[in-house]
Amino acid sequence: MSAVFDVISPRIRPRPKPRLLNGVIPFVVLLAGLAIAPLMLTPYSTVMLMPALAFGIALLGMNLLFGYTGLLSFGNAMFLAVGAYVAAAATQAGVLHFELILIAAASLGGLFALAIGALCVRFTHIFFGMLTLAFGMLLHSFLFKFYNLTGGDQGMRVLRPMLLGQDWDMTATQFLSGPFYYYCLIVYVLLGLLTWRIVSSPLGLQLRAIRDNESKARYLGVRVYRLRLFAFVVSGVFGAIAGAMLGVSTGLADPELAYWPQSGNLIFMMILGGAGTFVGPGVGALIFVLLHEVLVSSTAYWRFMLGATLVFLVLVLPEGLIGTISNHLQRRVRGDAQ
């Protein structure tokens, strides 16, 4: 009776993992690379690498939102700003424990995301993108215009925080390339593992089901609204944590962090590495930061080169670097097996 199906089956070999390079191992490799990088780089270059950690953390959340849940936000840079301004306000008010700053940033980012997400995740596709962009710009114009509170276009200074209750008596470069770099890396590791747990949980699976087919997911009992909101809140929390780190590493919280092209850059990094693969966005952040450094130091027209890279990626490698390599490997593995 089911003979029809039995005849088909032997042709396709079962694969235990649906996609190669999509596990947690490549991510661990990336982190290991970031851990040994300072040993081989000058302190100055290590500081240059700092944004890759921060963006990597923000992208863990954005990837959960887009790569896994299918919602492309054009406003996530606002959470970077939330984190950076929290760091600025806290350090200026004398709260120097970075642990407290991170907790405050994460809480505020989460609250922002909860309030904004409650409205936004009712929409998908372009409307979600536009609405998040609108909220991002609301924050930007608030930061920009309320000079007395936020310093306007000057931004607010972020003072050097204490790490683990310790004051570090060293130059800024030493601090940022040493203790601060490794502190952020450890936070990245922890949040990476947390995200990995989420994506490999039943909830993570349901997020992917929503991405693939929202209506079907509903009929299987998946609480679409609640889960989308969850993903958005995670992206907000991670974004704010990343923002606090960026604020410390540049010593400044400025409104440009919330400006919508900054969200565009985050998406750029995510697609560059490959959205939906676990390690992709982290790799994308690293490559973006390196590319940015190289281009800025070699040409005045680095924006043009970045834009051209993005156009090239969308047209030629839509699955991003990791997605493309993964597909290529997969074809070879299958080719060898036959």
Q: Which of residues 132-171 bind another protein (CB under 8 A)?
A: 133-135, 137-138, 140-142, 145-146
Nearer to another protein, 38 or 51 (CB): 51
HSE at residue 310, side-chain half, CA atoms within 13 A, is 16
What does the per-residue mask of binding to another protein show for 246-265, with x meaning CB under 8 A? -------------xxx--x-
Nearer to another protein, 174 or 309 (CB): 309
Least separation in angstroms between residue 147's CB and another protein is: 8
What does the per-residue mask of binding to another protein show for 189-228, with x meaning CB under 8 A? -----x--xx-xxxxxxx-xx-xxx-xxxxxxxxxx--x-
Least separation in angstroms between residue 161's CB and another protein is: 29
In single-letter form, the type of residue at position 213 comes to N
State how far the Cα of 210 lies from the Cα of 138, in Å rounded to an integer.
29
335 lines the binding site for another protein (CB under 8 A): no
State how far the Cα of 70 lies from the Cα of 252, in Å rounded to an integer.
33
**H-assigned helices in the chain:** 3-8, 25-40, 43-63, 77-92, 98-120, 125-145, 147-150, 172-175, 181-199, 202-212, 214-219, 224-250, 260-273, 280-298, 302-316, 320-337
Q: What is the CA radius of gyration of the chain?
A: 21
Q: How far is CA 130 from CA 73, 261, 263, in A?
A: 8, 13, 12
Least separation in angstroms between residue 315's CB and another protein is: 6
Nearer to another protein, 138 or 162 (CB): 138
Nearer to another protein, 87 or 229 (CB): 229
Q: Of 25, 29, 100, 126, which lies in the binding site for another protein, with binding defined by CB under 8 A? A: 126
Q: Is the dihedral of CA 82, 99, 68, 221 positive or negative?
A: negative
Nearer to another protein, 33 or 261 (CB): 261
Pick out residues in 292-331 that bind another protein (CB under 8 A): 300-304, 306-311, 314-315, 318
